[in-house]
Amino acid sequence: MQLEQHIEVAHDHCTHEDVQASIGFVARLYKEAQVSPEVENDNIQHSAVVREYALAIAKAHHLDEAFMGVAGQCHDCGKLDKQKPGEIDTWAHHQTSARATNKFLQEERGKTPVLGDRMERVIQCHSYIPFIRDFYTQQYEKMVAAGRGDGKTLEQYLEAVLPEPKTSEELALRDADMLAMIDVMAGLRKIVNIRQKQGSPWHEAEKDNIGLSIASAMQSAHTAYSILHFDYAQQIGEKLHSRVVVFQNAFAHSQVQTLETFLQFCDDWVAKEKTQELPIAA
């Protein structure tokens, strides 16, 4: 009886072995997506950074560390898509990632549906940020104008497609993702690289002006900093945000005009400043 209870408890919780397994799971999905190496590598780094931030926030605020580690690692596991503009699914990846992680936990890690569903909900909520909410608000308005609103309010529609984070775990994962967005390498560099990539939704408008992509990435960093929830995340965010502002000033006085020179500028700046791009200890 005690052994059965122990097994049941193990299946109802994530372990650090599950965190390690999730790293391989995400790498496998990214490889199967057959996107370009730069997109794959950028997102592998992003997943690792979000995982470490999620673990740090969980430890500081007494949340389930292993659960948050898996959530951080897998939050974007369904984002890469060779058929999408720029090889990423910007708008619906929170849903595909959530479902894929639930399936991974139940089918590959032997977890209960209760745990899988809990993880699915947490990952669904991580994309509730202003510019994605604006996108879905516009989609809703188009549906209503076309007579396809089905009598739903905007809030009811968003709950189905882009739920707002409310629990500590949901808010912690979004905080971890927002910290990565403020990060020079995992955030600013990655966003500019995406926006300048041929085929991305932003490439046509910004391909000849990398300053526009930088301005957008900076706006994302400012917004991410403004919506951080947990005290510990705000402490880290303050340091990262200050660093991004210094980086922006350095860029403004540079001669960078192309994506290639920008990426090299990032690498050189980070090396010069000796920044630590993974979570900062309290």
Q: Among 239, 236, 220, which Cα is nearest to 129's?
A: 220
**Tens digits of residue pLDDT in 254-282:** 999 888 999 999 999 988 886 444 444 33
Q: Which residue has the higher pLDDT, 78 or 86?
A: 78
Provide the whole-model pTM: 0.91
Distance CA 110, CA 150 (A): 38
High-pLDDT (> 90) share of the chain, %: 73
Residues 262 and 256 sit within 8 Å (Cβ to Cβ): yes
DSSP 77-105: TT-B-TTSGGGB-TTTHHHHHHHHHHHII
pLDDT at position 48, please? 97
CATH number, domain 2-128+163-273: 1.10.3210
pLDDT at residue 3 tops 60: no
The secondary structure element, H or E, covering residue 4 is: helix 2-11
**Tens digits of residue pLDDT in 209-230:** 888 999 999 999 999 999 999 9
Q: Where are the domains of the chain?
A: 2-128+163-273, 129-162
Q: Which residue has the higher pLDDT, 150 or 14?
A: 14
